[in-house]
Amino acid sequence: MKAFRLDELEAERAANEGAYLQFLRERNMSVGLYALDAGEPDPQKPHNQDEVYFVVSGRAAITVGMETTQVARGSVVYVPAGVAHKFHHISEDLRVLVVFSPPEG
């Protein structure tokens, strides 16, 4: 078993001064913590993997392809591989768990 605490992951991500911290990588998936502060732009480009976003905290909009929806704590969004997507209109600091399948990178 591997177990993680979000507060520890957030501290590690912040200490590494990056928006993304991959904390689990297995044969069929990887999981990371993604952080964008209020008003910050999302620099993402389409990925080669399917993704699931689980919003831990914050508020924003996300556009996936041509569809846009509002997200907040508890929101779950699926993004198919290769589809353009971005968080925007981030009104509260956003913290998102990201699951990639197959593993990112």
pLDDT by residue (tens digit) across 70-91?
999 999 999 999 999 999 999 9
pLDDT value for 85: 98
pLDDT value for 30: 98
Whole-model pTM: value is 0.94
- Residues 21/32, Cβ–Cβ less than 8 Å: yes
pLDDT by residue (tens digit) across 43-63?
999 999 999 999 999 999 999
Structure tokens at 10: 């957030």
pLDDT value for 105: 74
Please state, in angstroms and rounded to a whole number, the distance separating the CA atoms of residues 11 and 90: 21
Give the 3-state secondary structure of residue 96. strand
Give the 3-state secondary structure of residue 13. helix
Structure tokens at 81: 């591989």
Q: Which residues pair with 32 in a beta bridge?
A: 22, 98
Consecutive H or E run containing 12: helix 6-15
